[in-house]
Chain A
Amino acid sequence: MKKLYTALTALLFSVLTTQLSAQSIMGVVTDEYNEPIPGVGVIIQGGNNATTTNFDGVYTFSNLSAGTYSISFEMLGYEEKVVAVDVTAGNTATLNVQLNPSLNQLDEIVIVGYGVQRREDVTGSIVSLDSRDLTDMPTPSFETAIQGKAPGVQVVTGSGIAGSGSVVRVRGIASISAGGDPLYVVDGIPITQDYFLRGNSGAMNNNPLASLNPEDIESVEILKDASATAIYGSRGSNGVILITTKRGNTGRAGEMKFEFSTRVGISEPTAMPNMLNTEQYLQLYEEAWYNDQALYLTNPELFSAAPPSGEPILPGGLSMEEARQNNTNWADELTRIGIKQQYDFALGQNGQGYNYRVGLTYDDQQSYLTQNNYQRLGVRFNGDINITENLVFGITTSLFQGLNNRVDEGWSGGLGAAMGTALPIYPIYNDDGTYFSGGNNPIRLRELKDWQQRELRSINSAMLTYNATDNLIFRATGSYDFMQLVEDIYEPQELIGSTHAGVAKRFPLQVRNWNANATATYLFEAAEGHDFTVLVGTEFQERRQVNGNYFNPVDSSYTNEVIDAQGPFFNNPELLNQLELDYTNQPGSGNTFASFFGRVNYSIHDKYLFQAVVRTDASSNFGPENRWGVFPSLGTGWIMSKEPFLYDNDVVSFLKLKASIGVSGNAAIPDNQWRATYGQNGSYYGQPITYQLIRENPTLKWEESTIFDAALEYGFLDDRITGEIAYYYKYTRDALLSVSLPRYQGFDNFWDNLGEILNTGVEFSITARPIVTNNFTWKVDFNAAYNYNEIASIGGYSEDAVSGGTNDTRVVVGQPVGTNFLVKFSHVDPATGRPVYLDLNGEETYTWTPDNRQAVGKVLPDAIGGITNTFNYKNWDLSFLFVYSIGGQVYDSSSKRQLGVVSDWNMRTELFDRWREPGDEATFPRLTRDPGVYGSNTPWINTDMWLHDADYLRLRNFTVGYNLPKSSLEGIGIDRMRVSFIATNLFVITNYPGLDPEIARDFENATDRNMSVNITYLTPPQERTFSLALNVNF
């Protein structure tokens, strides 16, 4: 629409100038995305002829004499450009110019908690990403797109399961049992971000961020240090991620804007497992069988039981003959090329006294796993209206439905089964066409089980802003974040193997989360050059979680299932006819926060910056003795480039030194753990009993991190090179541990403030434009972050007091959070073929015992980062993002079964490098079916044999784009049209022998999530995608 105006105007001008028979120059100035820029200063050099572009970016010079002109284009926030143009007699020269944004972000606005600041004035450490950073590639969930773009922010991309979430860590990890994820705040409300609402099912945790549409997001700011996070008080110590959704106020006044974008692509796994085929499996199985028989004759003491005599007996009771008839490649059967599609449409208007934006989205993301896809359908409306001149009412509202067609994966089935107990010797179908069920048949499970999870999510806020004067602003916001999860499972008779027709199950739950806050902001200049901004505010938040149960009036029972159902609830609504939904019967949980906060910013001549923040929080989750906490911070900055000695320096264009110190907390623990509670279930000899369920801990409080941060922001060569170097030191006290108490205390688990954790590190980022010409630019963004993490204390408890679920990571003083605590494997004894381990003194031993476990690795990397190269040539652009991780380990937990004692698990081809006869120098020991031969009485033993370096360099994103020239669009009323091709995860360079060196598996609880990233247990690898995208603005 706007383009139409522009074209008409241009046409009109050109007609006029021609008629005047004088020479003219005219053209349109656009930005890097072909959006016209109004207000650009256009100056003919060597004279005093100057103008500015109008609303449509159009400028014109008339009454010129013929000749060559050198014209400069200047605009704040953009790099100056000087272009020469020839004007021939009697003609109008057209000179359209595209300006590149300046890397000098002095005037960039940054969202901080409860307000905005100029980037220049910020004393804290804040990374800003804009919407383009978040939508430049297809991701299962928006946070995945942050990877490699924000220094010090580790993003471990989720598995290949549709809708899976990533693990995000800001500057290492400062928590053990409390949630270690950053606090996510969407348009001012800390949203529900519980990954364990549905526990761990099908090898997946529900991802609470999946229902946020990346296309709705205007910007994401990541607050990293205390100066930035202290305003979030008891919840900021693992960083804060502020998400701001798009509003209608960014366009030019009055104009309607339309945006349409679509992306269509395919998904495939980044790696496929190398499992044995039937012939190979039988070969190794037979070898183990006969090995044992032979060894038993000479060394019966090694065996926990006498090996069976005679011919091999195969798993599933198959004979060798029957087994040879099958050769099922289960991994192939359970994967596919997934189709991904996404459509977004938005319209918005920045009107007189009002603005709005409406966005609609639909997408359907199939994963490469058969029958697994995630669909989103959503609408968002954001708007503001001036009720009076001083009073603005704003609203932010969204409604999303996420529909996840779930599958069993990992340890639960699917591709995980293909890497486990689904053996190649098993068929999919029996001869009569029925499903084979004599052994694990993941196809049978996948095809018979119906499993759907439907999420309804609505995040809303209403905001009233009163500008009492130009300097005094009051704002009140009320927000409501509603989440409803309904999980439906149907298992037909054949699967459950009972006389019932089938069992339909439904598990509904709701999380209701409301927040109200009010702030007052006052700006004043105490004296010339002494500017103050004062913010005070208060906030209240309440979260309730209610689990739904169905009441059956027939037998007065509560139930979540109907037996003898013909299909799942979602297809058979009549199943609900007999049932009443009750949300109050089950124990719910909830918490509240009440807070007061203030922030003072003081700037002296825009050169010396000071910020003081204090927040005081009270929470129902803290014990009464520590209910209120105070979280202060102080920050200071010095913009050295404004000092006389650097002012107008040719080399140094910007230099700012900043430092801050402060305290922030973490309160992400289960509700009401401080309070003694009692139960009365059961009886003894018919007598009632009463007993304590939770031990009282009246001193339970938040974790507290003291954070020091110092950084230098720099810009060189007129900001052709910009960046930041930062150092931080973060010491966490009173870290919350869900500690397995020594059993003599008489209690299993107990929440207490016990730990101390150190995180310290440096971050480096640089953005440079090595080449900038009129037609070609090359831009490089590079960042690197080094983090050192160490548990300084766990209050004297044992390494086993806090364990990372089933993942064999432990808390070890002097070692990082998530330490692999394993028995050391030394070598395979060439004489006997038995594995040799090392005890704690480094002595070799044939015996495996957990007492010889020691810290042998860590899941946290030393260094992470990313590098993006962007090339623009005329209308073409090409960019690619590499991400890397150095110094961490992967524990391939499932390989202890795939490469260990021969059992009913399939094995991997590496196992061919095994010991066979005395003198063999082999990677793997002699094959056996008896764990005793490996020196253990349990077959699944954890050793560092399964621990691998996880260093990798991955081509995360590769994009080629083409912006259609304006000239070809003008005629059809389109402002901008872009087509692009995007490939993700094209390759990864790593020495890791397993599937994918970057692993965010399913977790058991928050402790596990903190301690067991990069542990795999049959976790499906990430996906590789290829997409075509089209973006149209009109």
Chain B
Amino acid sequence: MKKQIAKLTVIGALLLGGTGCSDFLDVKPEGVLLEGEAIQTQQDIENVLNSVYDVVANVYNGRIQAFGSLLGDNLNRPRSSTFMQEIYGRQTNIFNSDVSAVYLDAYRAVYRANWLIENIDLIDIPANRRQEILDEARFLRALMHFELVRYFGQPYGQTSDNSHLGIVIKTSTVRELVPRNTVAQVYDFVIDELTTVAQRLPETNGIFATKYAAYGVLADVHMQMNSFTSAAAYADSVIESGSYTMMTDFNRYEAEMNTEIVFGGFSFASINDNRGGSFNGFYRWDNQPNPNPEFTMDRNFYNLVASNPDDLRDSLWMAVVNEGSPNELIVQSKFNYDFIDVPIVHLTKLKLIRAEALAMTGNNLSTAIQDINDIRERAYGGSTQNLDAAAAATEVLEAARYERRVELMCEGDRGHELKRLGVLGEINTIRGADWDCPGQVLQFPAVERSSVFVLNQEGGCQ
């Protein structure tokens, strides 16, 4: 018996011992890279930064701008897309996958930026470039937060202390269920980040983020907050840098033609890479025998522009097809290009910001007037519609707002602009609904809801 037990023990030990398990248990997935393979050199880190730009460009390929245009008053109800009709009708729900796709992509960019910030030291990188990479990542991260908070929270200023809910500020890759931050917190975060990186970012950086890109976004952010002094100052520092020149033509979206872009999403035609695909999809009409764009222009808006016989923009940027027939469409021509460079921060917009902001403060009106006239001379083909050098602030303000509406048509600005005016008390409704009714903000995707995350109020804008 004892002998048998001894024998058994030996056999058992043989069975249990001496196996090289760790290799056996390490099954490498094929066709993908592991971390050690993907991140080996500085170039790999640069590639991760490129991938953040890549996603940001996808967010801006016409999708996120569509929401801002649909919430405004320049467009008709989308013609077939149920999800887009929901946005226009101010009744998005948790299943609107067009909304959730853009929202996810924006946070995907945030994740990649956070990953980069957390992992940059996997590789030794020269200190200057290392700081630059971090700052570019932080710039992109802040930009995404700004875009999202404008769509998913009521506008800055809706409550006096901005304690109303915005979006989640995400500064790490940690998985966590967290509540929404307030609008005040999000704007504070965005401004802190942008002002910090603006001090260090270079003045030129190819198509990538620069000091002026950060200033330009800050101008936009402060304008949205109705902080006119700051908005004017930031716009001023970009415009006066002299790095960007006014276009004389109207092909703002045609790839490689826009000299005004401070920051944008760029196509790369040689490998057939178009970064304005959704603009094409929503608006383009010149490449089909029977134009059938999803988005068409509101008749009243068209008439407004067309009523001024000198204005070139009604005919250059819009067209009426099948006029007078039941299938008449007023179409948008800004995006009739095979390859589009998307201006995100650009000179025309900065001039409009500066003009309006100065008019609001009443300071330096002559600069504001010049800004308006720069735009008008292009829009009207001459100086016939120029403001008088002695124009009053109210006149400048009216001109700035009108030009902003027309100049930035279909660029995603109009909805935000109207909400901002709602905060100022200058309008009460947008297309018949209160400027801050629940449907004016987009609903979060269904999966956002958790024990701590509260969705936006339902009920649209009845």
Which residues of A are in contact with B by a Cβ distance under 8 Å? 304, 468-469, 471-472, 474, 518, 520, 522, 524, 534, 536-538, 540, 542, 586-592, 594, 596, 618-620, 627, 671-672, 675-680, 682-693, 695-696, 740-748, 750, 752, 795-801, 849-851, 937-938
Contacts A534-B8, A741-B447, A798-B450 given; indicate if A683 touches B82 (C-beta within 8 A).
no
- Would you call B94 and A540 a contact (CB within 8 A)? no
- Would you call A618 and B446 a contact (CB within 8 A)? no
Specify which chain B residues have a CB less than 8 angstroms from the CB of A682 in the assembled complex: 54
Contacts A/B (CB < 8 Å), 18 sampled: A468-B7, A471-B4, A594-B19, A672-B29, A677-B33, A678-B37, A684-B50, A684-B53, A688-B43, A689-B54, A691-B48, A744-B170, A745-B170, A746-B173, A748-B104, A797-B447, A800-B94, A850-B446
Of all chain A residues, the one with the shortest Cβ separation from B443 is A851
Of all chain B residues, the one with the shortest Cβ separation from A752 is B175
Of all chain B residues, the one with the shortest Cβ separation from A679 is B32
- Would you call A744 and B15 a contact (CB within 8 A)? no
Task: Say yes or no for B234: interface residue by CB 8 A criterion.
Answer: no
Of B53, B85, B167, the residue contacting A744 (CB under 8 A) is B167
- Would you call B29 and A677 a contact (CB within 8 A)? yes
A935 to chain B, nearest CB (A): 12
- Would you call B94 and A590 a contact (CB within 8 A)? no
Please tell me the number of chain B residues within 8 Å of chain A, measured between CB atoms: 79
Contacts A678-B33, A742-B450 given; indicate if A522 touches B268 (C-beta within 8 A).
no
Interface of A is mostly: mixed
* Per-residue contact bits, chain B 1-34, to A (CB 8 Å; 1 contact, 0 not): 1001101100110011001010011110111111
- Would you call B27 and A796 a contact (CB within 8 A)? no
A115 to chain B, nearest CB (A): 15
B182 to chain A, nearest CB (A): 15
Task: Say yes or no for B458: interface residue by CB 8 A criterion.
Answer: yes
Specify which chain B residues have a CB less than 8 angstroms from the CB of A520 in the assembled complex: 8, 11-12, 15
- Would you call B1 and A524 a contact (CB within 8 A)? yes
* Per-residue contact bits, chain B 447-460, to A (CB 8 Å; 1 contact, 0 not): 11111110100100
Specify which chain B residues have a CB less than 8 angstroms from the CB of A538 in the assembled complex: 15-16, 19
Task: Say yes or no for B395: interface residue by CB 8 A criterion.
Answer: no
- Would you call A592 and B24 a contact (CB within 8 A)? yes
Of all chain B residues, the one with the shortest Cβ separation from A524 is B1
The CA-CA distance from A596 to B32 in the complex, in Å, is 32
B220 to chain A, nearest CB (A): 22
B444 to chain A, nearest CB (A): 8
- Would you call B54 and A684 a contact (CB within 8 A)? yes
Specify which chain B residues have a CB less than 8 angstroms from the CB of A671 in the assembled complex: 27, 29
The CA-CA distance from A77 to B21 in the complex, in Å, is 47
4 nearest A-B residue pairs (beta carbon): A746-B111, A587-B31, A678-B38, A800-B446
Task: Say yes or no for B307: interface residue by CB 8 A criterion.
Answer: no
Task: Say yes or no for B381: interface residue by CB 8 A criterion.
Answer: no
Of all chain A residues, the one with the shortest Cβ separation from B270 is A686
Specify which chain A residues have a CB less than 8 angstroms from the CB of B273 in the assembled complex: 683, 685-686
- Would you call B24 and A594 a contact (CB within 8 A)? yes
Task: Say yes or no for B65: interface residue by CB 8 A criterion.
Answer: no
Of B26, B31, B175, the residue contacting A745 (CB under 8 A) is B175
Residue among B27, B47, B175, B207 having the largest count of chain A Cβ atoms under 10 Å: B27
- Would you call A685 and B53 a contact (CB within 8 A)? yes
- Would you call B85 and A937 a contact (CB within 8 A)? yes
Of all chain A residues, the one with the shortest Cβ separation from B12 is A536
Task: Say yes or no for B143: interface residue by CB 8 A criterion.
Answer: no
Task: Say yes or no for B86: interface residue by CB 8 A criterion.
Answer: yes
- Would you call B8 and A798 a contact (CB within 8 A)? no
Of all chain B residues, the one with the shortest Cβ separation from A304 is B85
- Would you call B177 and A472 a contact (CB within 8 A)? no
Residue among A589, A671, A691 having the largest count of chain B Cβ atoms under 10 Å: A691
Specify which chain B residues have a CB less than 8 angstroms from the CB of A524 in the assembled complex: 1, 4
B441 to chain A, nearest CB (A): 15
The CA-CA distance from A800 to B25 in the complex, in Å, is 34
A544 to chain B, nearest CB (A): 8
A668 to chain B, nearest CB (A): 16
List 6 additional contacts besides A688-B47, A745-B170; criterion CB under 8 Å: A524-B1, A683-B50, A685-B266, A686-B271, A742-B168, A851-B93
**B421-462 with Cβ < 8 A to chain A:** 444-453, 455, 458
Task: Say yes or no for B35: interface residue by CB 8 A criterion.
Answer: yes
B96 to chain A, nearest CB (A): 10
**B22-72 with Cβ < 8 A to chain A:** 24-27, 29-35, 37-39, 43-44, 46-48, 50-51, 53-54, 57
Contacts A524-B1, A596-B16, A677-B32 given; indicate if A590 touches B47 (C-beta within 8 A).
no
B138 to chain A, nearest CB (A): 15
The CA-CA distance from A954 to B11 in the complex, in Å, is 54
Of A590, A743, A798, A850, the residue contacting B95 (CB under 8 A) is A850
A586 to chain B, nearest CB (A): 7
A522 to chain B, nearest CB (A): 5
The CA-CA distance from A147 to B453 in the complex, in Å, is 44
Of B39, B48, B115, B445, the residue contacting A743 (CB under 8 A) is B445
Of all chain A residues, the one with the shortest Cβ separation from B119 is A692
Of A592, A620, A743, the residue contacting B107 (CB under 8 A) is A743
- Would you call A537 and B449 a contact (CB within 8 A)? no
The CA-CA distance from A849 to B462 in the complex, in Å, is 14
The CA-CA distance from A750 to B16 in the complex, in Å, is 35
A929 to chain B, nearest CB (A): 15
The CA-CA distance from A627 to B22 in the complex, in Å, is 10
Task: Say yes or no for B137: interface residue by CB 8 A criterion.
Answer: no
Task: Say yes or no for B151: interface residue by CB 8 A criterion.
Answer: no
Residue among B39, B110, B177 having the largest count of chain A Cβ atoms under 10 Å: B177
Contacts A684-B57, A740-B447, A850-B446 given; indicate if A587 touches B32 (C-beta within 8 A).
yes
Of B25, B34, B167, the residue contacting A677 (CB under 8 A) is B34
The CA-CA distance from A588 to B178 in the complex, in Å, is 37
The CA-CA distance from A687 to B453 in the complex, in Å, is 38
Specify which chain B residues have a CB less than 8 angstroms from the CB of A537 in the assembled complex: 15
Task: Say yes or no for B108: interface residue by CB 8 A criterion.
Answer: yes
Of all chain B residues, the one with the shortest Cβ separation from A468 is B7
**B156-205 with Cβ < 8 A to chain A:** 167-168, 170, 173, 175, 177-178
Of A690, A742, A750, A796, the residue contacting B39 (CB under 8 A) is A690
Specify which chain A residues have a CB less than 8 angstroms from the CB of B34 in the assembled complex: 675-678
- Would you call B25 and A619 a contact (CB within 8 A)? yes
Specify which chain A residues have a CB less than 8 angstroms from the CB of B271 in the assembled complex: 683, 686
The CA-CA distance from A633 to B240 in the complex, in Å, is 77
- Would you call B93 and A743 a contact (CB within 8 A)? no
- Would you call B448 and A798 a contact (CB within 8 A)? yes
Task: Say yes or no for B258: interface residue by CB 8 A criterion.
Answer: no
Of A620, A679, A797, the residue contacting B26 (CB under 8 A) is A620
Specify which chain B residues have a CB less than 8 angstroms from the CB of A684 in the assembled complex: 50-51, 53-54, 57, 268
The CA-CA distance from A679 to B451 in the complex, in Å, is 33
A517 to chain B, nearest CB (A): 10
- Would you call B21 and A796 a contact (CB within 8 A)? no
The CA-CA distance from A794 to B178 in the complex, in Å, is 15
Residue among A588, A594, A744, A752 having the largest count of chain B Cβ atoms under 10 Å: A744
A685 to chain B, nearest CB (A): 5
- Would you call B29 and A589 a contact (CB within 8 A)? yes
The CA-CA distance from A315 to B444 in the complex, in Å, is 36
Specify which chain B residues have a CB less than 8 angstroms from the CB of A689 in the assembled complex: 47-48, 50-51, 54
Of all chain B residues, the one with the shortest Cβ separation from A616 is B16
Specify which chain B residues have a CB less than 8 angstroms from the CB of A474 in the assembled complex: 11
The CA-CA distance from A540 to B4 in the complex, in Å, is 27
**B268-300 with Cβ < 8 A to chain A:** 268, 270-271, 273
Contacts A520-B8, A796-B451 given; indicate if A746 touches B107 (C-beta within 8 A).
yes
The CA-CA distance from A538 to B44 in the complex, in Å, is 43
Specify which chain B residues have a CB less than 8 angstroms from the CB of A797 in the assembled complex: 177, 447, 450
Contacts A743-B100, A796-B451 given; indicate if A469 touches B4 (C-beta within 8 A).
yes
A378 to chain B, nearest CB (A): 31
Of all chain A residues, the one with the shortest Cβ separation from B86 is A937
Of B100, B170, B447, the residue contacting A798 (CB under 8 A) is B447
Specify which chain A residues have a CB less than 8 angstroms from the CB of B458 in the assembled complex: 849, 851
